[in-house]
Amino acid sequence: MIGHASPREGAGMPEPVRLEIEKIDDCRYRIPKQGRMNVPGIVFADDRLMEGIREDQALVQVMNVACLPGIVRASLAMPDIHWGYGFPIGGVAAFDLEEGVISPGGVGYDINCGVRLLRSGLSAGEAGGRIRELVEALFRNIPTGVGSHRKDFRLDQKSEVRLLREGAAWAVKNGLGEERDLLHIEEGGGLEGADPACVSDRAKERGRAQLGTLGSGNHFVEVQRVAEVYDEEAARALGLERDAITISIHTGSRGLGYQVCDDFLQVMLRASRDHGIHLPDPQLCCAPVNSEEGRRYIGAMYAAANFAFGNRQLITHWVRQSFQEVFQKGPRDLGIEVVYDVCHNIAKIETHLVDGKERRLCVHRKGATRAFPAGHPQTPHAYRDVGQPVLIPGDMGRYSFVLVGTQRAFEETFGSTCHGAGRRLSRKAAKKSARGRSIVRDMEDRGIVVRADGYATLAEEIPEAYKDVAEVVDVVHRAGISRRVAKLVPIGVIKG
């Protein structure tokens, strides 16, 4: 029996379900096609991770997605899969442009939540004595938390429309970055087809005060040390050296993206009825890709994605300023450059091989990362010989990983891989577990300086609230859908 998720993401976990699932190999499981499923489900996981995955309704959501019209090949789930709104977080699904659909639930509320990795010319030894001062400068310069904004920066309406059309390029044109930054951002930091006219006035109003802010929850800016290098050739191409300082930025489209999703859920519920689409779960409300409703959602969703690219670009600018303040060095001496910037919540029109033939598909990646191979025309020129960088953040107390995309991912998962550790505890359970603890002191004992907007955020984000990202990365590496390059360990973190 195909079940239903609860009415709203984060509103309370549904009851666990048990279902039959076939083991394909050490890294893959199959949910056989049954009932209204049009394709099977494929889950990338090992036995240990599968034990946890079975404990919520994420696998039922994989089955539900497989029921949507026009889905191609399989409903896919990455090893960091967990329950989400409609689609599981960690879900990937591709749809035919003629018969298939596009669904806000397959993108999520935080449109183009993603990660940007910066490298620097500093070594851990050079930076070590200044980390606390650096974390304070980052916390001072980058607004964090719910409702955060910079008093000295606010968009006007005309500038916001240009940002929604142009993405990170708008920020660079306005002196908030370098032209070369755009070479190392997915889609060059701007999705063509973004239509600000499809974004509601309420969404635009929410966005104007929030550009250049980190937000709350699991969003962060993290100063890291390159602790391990697994692939010397790929690390050289990405400019990563052992013991070098890197900076990761994890945030998205803030209230603007949330509002776009909220607005279009109502549109898509009506569209599902009007187009006669059977929904196994109302949260999977959708419209044909080429319908008026589908085209309007794509225009608005791409505009929100461009806002997120611009958001990470401004934060990059303020990261550079913070380093200059603390180390009293110029940009050239600090050498802070963009390694890559990837989307985690997006649906895009892409060309893929299906049964030996090229097809244009609408690929939904929700809590999943694009992982294009070496030689692909959309892999940046600097990385053309090694593959597109894949950025996988972990929790604030352990480590993150840099990988590269592979040909196998392109052939098997529509060029997709995991996006992070995946939650193990709900936010409520994490807060309960953290009660009575000094999380800041715990982190300092690990050699990590942490600054946050409030204790509640830190309690929700304790390391044990997440799966061990090394286990997740091990699965995708062994499955061949991305390849390990380097491990980064945190030494300073600011949280929303």
Between CA 56 and CA 10 the distance in angstroms is 13
Query: What is the average per-residue pLDDT within 277-284?
Result: 97
Q: Which of 317, 364, 419, 477 is catalytic?
A: 419
Give me the pLDDT at residue 16, please: 43
Query: What is the average per-residue pLDDT within 263-267?
Result: 97
In single-letter form, the type of residue at position 376 comes to H
SS (H, E, C) 386-451: CCCEEEECCCCCCCEEEEECCHHHHHHCCCEECCCCCECCCHHHHHHHHCCCCHHHHHHHCCCEEE
Between CA 352 and CA 110 the distance in angstroms is 26
Q: Which residue has the higher pLDDT, 11 or 1?
A: 11
Known active-site residue 419 = yes
Give the chain's end-to-end CA distance (angstroms, integer): 40
Q: Please state at what angle helix 292-327 crosses helix 157-166, rounded to 10 degrees.
A: 100
Contact (CB, 8 A) for 403 and 482: yes
Q: Taking the CA atoms of the chain, what radius of gyration do you get in angstroms?
A: 21
pLDDT band, residue 437 (cuts 50/70/90) = confident
Given a cut of 60, is residue 8 above it in pLDDT?
no
**Percentage with pLDDT > 90 across the chain:** 81
Between CA 410 and CA 412 the distance in angstroms is 6
Which CA distances in Å does 57 have to 114, 201, 466?
24, 35, 17
Give me the pLDDT at residue 9, please: 40
Torsion angles phi and psi, residue 404, rounded to 5: -130, 155
Give me the pLDDT at residue 454, please: 80
Count of C-beta atoms within a 10 Å radius of residue 414: 25
Contact (CB, 8 A) for 184 and 168: no
Between CA 71 and CA 94 the distance in angstroms is 6
Query: What is the average per-residue pLDDT within 132-156?
Result: 83
pLDDT band, residue 424 (cuts 50/70/90) = confident
Give 331-366 pLDDT, tens digit per residue: 889 999 999 999 999 999 999 999 999 999 999 999
Taking 3-state DSSP, the helix, strand and coil percentages for the chain, each rounded to the nearest 5, stand at 40, 25, 40
Q: Three-state DSSP class for 273?
A: helix
Give 20-59 pLDDT, tens digit per residue: 899 999 999 999 999 999 999 999 999 999 999 998 899 9
Between CA 31 and CA 211 the distance in angstroms is 42
Give me the pLDDT at residue 15, please: 43
pLDDT band, residue 148 (cuts 50/70/90) = low
Summary mean pLDDT of the chain: 93
Q: Which residue has the higher pLDDT, 463 or 390?
A: 390
Query: What is the average per-residue pLDDT within 150-174?
Result: 91
Q: Which residue has the higher pLDDT, 105 or 19?
A: 105
Half-sphere exposure at residue 208, Cβ-oriented, CA atoms within 13 angstroms: 14
Give 73-129 pLDDT, tens digit per residue: 999 999 999 999 999 999 999 999 999 999 999 999 999 999 999 999 999 999 989
pLDDT band, residue 3 (cuts 50/70/90) = very low
Sheet holding 357-366, edge to edge: 22-25, 28-31, 41-44, 75-82, 89-96, 357-366, 345-354
* pTM passes above 0.75: yes
Given a cut of 70, is residue 150 above it in pLDDT?
no
Give me the pLDDT at residue 436, please: 77
Give 312-323 pLDDT, tens digit per residue: 999 999 999 999
Q: Three-state DSSP class for 482?
A: coil
Between CA 101 and CA 286 the distance in angstroms is 6
Which CA distances in Å does 381 have to 168, 377, 389?
19, 8, 12
